[in-house]
Structure 1
């Protein structure tokens, strides 16, 4: 068996996974987000590592009690942000989360000057405040001493790998945004120069080749309760791990991660960059050579649901009942779901994007407002998946996929069956699948993909929502000028 670990933004989970893709046991522990000032979101690397040690030790104990041996430790976790470390793997200041907004002014300047568009033309990656490019530029201007003290500017997963194995590395999926030429898996010197941070190229670790395994150090092995030298697999990070762990396998298949934000991605066999296109989304290298993920990571998601439920005096436990009380179309109420203070980043880029409700009347119910927001998020999913090139099946995971009625709305809006894995820890599954590939003993992917429930679209509702989707797109076009003008 393999221990798969998914180091999320707020929760770290470890699962003991069998070759059929099922988890014998799962343990979790919350991680703390530090907010030292407006727009600043950080994490303490020591606290994050401690969370991994805690959950892995619990799973190791359960494995021993069940008489199961562990073949490897497979790691995945949150992407983006900036995790600066020294040669010994110690954090140089708190890690900067992908949620951080300190580089917003840098990014706004890059958008106005054309830097963002030029980088996109070379790598196919749009940037947002919590991505490495603008964060490095911000630190170079405001905290250059931190960069001078650092030996590596990486991400969450490779920070943990360095602590557990002593290796300085990065998975190609993490390295993809924003400086990697994805097909060649090499950094674009031009992109670094355009951003004005080429002098910090030495902080970027070379991407590990597909199939690379690392060895658990004696110190880390003692902390984790695992054998010294145990193989350690590092990546891909959580978005691609969720795609593969949920059953995405054929070119054109899509993955929908209905979490705090909405991760929409489609498996592709070529990287196609429109140099003049809007700098939204990203291309990711994957563990499978010549397979790439076109990702549209929208800022909408379950955070929108939490907001509207709280606004009308309910919580997530009431969702099924509320959706049952409002028919498709939400009694004439429609919404735009752009509630993030950072605006939207996919499939268009506008830091000033804002949400709205229209069609409200004295007859509007709380249930109508909740359904309208759920429909708006589903429309956003379709917008992003179609922009990413969806032609095949759609697999869904994340907290939102646990709702039967919201899953039905997604299926109806997409006009396609929605395949939801029975095993919820799909990120850890994807990491474990990658580890078995690297060990030279791949799992039966068809068997893993079969372990899903399927939500079939209702033909009448799908036809209704198809018309609604056209109106949704028109609503965005009408709203954008009122956000302060296009910022593409």
Structure 2
């Protein structure tokens, strides 16, 4: 057994989410030793969503100091960082931010997307996602460049959210990873930046970071960063992945056909495929996986955030009580659980989509249940869409994210899907990065996941409830078609799957 997978080895996973920065210390057997988090705040105004990059560093440093309290520094082997997908900023040559961080769902660059897709059409088509969405990083980079007064100052750098952290940890700029670079246009097949296309878009090559595969050792923690974070100087810094991929690793969903559904503010799907999955609709895209595999996935604009919208100020105890009351209603009313005002991203692209209600929920408990059921129905549609594309979807399925902590909701989702669901013990993005960090010390990713990822519970669907909810699902699909949101061909495939 590699030393990396022994109880004495400690690996650090760092996660930058939308609402918090989190650090975990996990030993080589997967035991969570300590964890800590700090809140992050952002600014939303219409289509804009930004955060202060300096807060990313200060929050993560504070979380690290707490998470490493009492842990023998000699046990710490390596770390890896994940962050939100498509979040970018510009810095000067010393890594000092020149701009806010434009977050994953910021859509101020809508007007730049057409130019990106015109000049990069052949590359995006070959990479399988066909076209970039306005919230992706490359359109936002063009917006940032246009917003600068004059040409970019000498030494200006584009950084993805995780890149700022690895720079601070190492004390100098280090390479980015293919996972975070995907939405900036990095060519995952040729493994290089598409220079001709970027030149045509006016993106200076000097702005862009070097890129390596996840799991590559980038450097070591410098003395200054050690003082700020409590991470021992000399700790290996491993190239990470985006938060959805990190959660997938934390769930152990790495074999072809396996999927991880992350229910947070929004739904994120990540699976494993032996082949590149190409999507004519441009809403599914593939990361590179370990070995020769690919990691197809999509990020919805719907999810558990609908609860905060419809039940503002509700405390965890309030949500627990609502869950208990909702479970007793038997209601089949449905809320399309779209979060925010930016439209839908997956399983269809509809910038003008708005939330709607099917049925007439009566009272808070039925409205709450309608939100839970709406997420479950949309989740099934996501899997039907993936199957429509030819992605393998028949492997093991895991649920992670904050929504997976609600057992009733997880069972409802399993019933709507009509398939067994696994709930891992510690699956979260930060834990996935601890698993990836273990590869820097001699383990393969498959070995690390096998040793460090453990199953807490398996939920099996209730066939009677699956059958009872099937007409509700089909009515939801019909409602999406009627509103012009879902393509009839996709709806037909969903109906065909339901008939099977």
TM-score, normalised via structure 1 length: 0.88
**1:96-175 aligned within 5 A:** 96-107=102-113, 109=114, 120-125=124-129, 126-143=131-148, 145=150, 147-148=152-153, 151-165=156-170, 166-175=172-181
Secondary structure of the structure 2 residue equivalent to 1:180: coil
Tell me the CA shift for residue 237 of structure 1: 1.9
Aligned residues: 467
1:120/1:409 CA distance change after superposition, 3 Å: farther
Q: Is 1:393 equivalent to 2:390 in the alignment? A: no
1:440 maps to what in 2? 442
1:366 is paired with a residue whose SS is: helix
2:337 is equivalent to residue 337 of structure 1: yes
Residue equivalent to 2:471: 467
Conservation of the 8 A alpha-carbon contact between 1:81 and 1:96: yes
Match of 2:283 in 1: 280
User: Cα distance, 1:118 vs. partner?
Assistant: 5.8
**CA distance, structure 2, for counterparts of residue 348 and residue 116 of structure 1:** 21
Residue in structure 1 matched with residue 494 of structure 2 by the alignment: none
| TM-fit CA distance, 1:217 | 1.5
* Corresponding position of 2:484: 480
| 2:204 aligned partner | 200
Q: Which residue, out of 157, 181, 197, partners 2:187?
A: 181
Of 340-349 and 459-468, deviating more is 459-468
CA deviation after TM superposition for structure 1 residue 307, in Å: 2.2
Contact 1:306 1:316 (C-alpha < 8 Å) held by counterparts: no
1:45 and 1:91 in contact (8 A); partners too: yes
TM-score, normalised with respect to structure 2: 0.86
Question: Could you tell me which residue of structure 1 aligns to residue 7 of structure 2?
Answer: none
Is 1:269 matched with 2:288? no
Of the candidates 421, 424, 432, which is equivalent to residue 424 of structure 2? 421
Return the offset for 1:475: 1.4
Check conservation: 2:353, 2:485, Cα contact below 8 A. no
Shift of 1:262: 0.5
What SS class does the counterpart of residue 176 from structure 2 fall into? coil
CA distance in 2, matches of 1:401, 1:92: 38
Q: Does 1:63 align with 2:68?
A: no
Distance 1:203 1:335 in 2: 44
Find 1:374's aligned residue among 372, 394, 413.
372
Corresponding residue SS for 1:235: coil
In 2, distance between residues paired with 1:73 and 1:311?
35
Superposed displacement of residue 447, structure 1: 4.4
Distance (whole Å) between structure 1 residues aligned to residue 421 and residue 61 of structure 2? 35
Taking a change above 3 Å as real, the CA distance of residues 146 and 8 of structure 1, as seen in their structure-2 partners, is: farther
3-state secondary structure, aligned to 2:204: helix
Q: Which residue of 2 aligns with 1:242?
A: 247
Aligned partner of 1:485 in structure 2 is none
Counterpart in 2 of 1:51?
59
Structure 1's unaligned 5+ residue stretches are 483-488
**How far is the alpha carbon of 1:294 from its aligned partner?**
0.9
SS at match of 1:3: strand
Q: Could you say what the CA RMSD is over the residues aligned between the two structures, in angstroms?
A: 2.7
Q: Which residue of 2 aligns with 1:19?
A: 28
Q: Deviations over 1:427-470 (max 9, x none)?
A: 12211111111221344533444432111111111222333322
- 3-state SS of 1:63 partner: coil
**What SS does the aligned partner of 2:75 have?**
coil
The 8 Å contact of residues 51 and 103 in structure 2, kept in 1 or not, is answered as yes
Task: Give the equivalent residue in structure 2 for 1:81.
Answer: 87
Task: Tell me the equivalent position of 1:407.
Answer: 410
2:461 to 457, 477, 485: 457
- SS of 2:299's partner is strand
Indicate if the aligned counterparts of 2:335 and 2:356 stay in contact, CA closer than 8 A.
Answer: yes
Q: 3-state DSSP class of the match of 2:49?
A: strand
- Aligned equivalents of 2:185, 2:60: Cα separation in 1: 29
Mark the CA change 1:460 to 1:447 in structure 2 (over 3 Å): closer, same or farther: farther
Q: 2: CA distance between counterparts of 1:481 and 1:60?
A: 48
Structure 2: gaps of 5 or more residues: 1-9, 487-500
1:161 Cα shift?
0.5
Match of residue 39 from structure 1: 47
* 1:140 CA drift (Å): 3.1
Partners of 1:123 and 1:180 within 8 A in 2: no
Structure 1: how far apart are the matches of 2:454 and 2:186? 34
Distance in 1 between residues matched to 2:251 and 2:195, nearest whole Å: 35
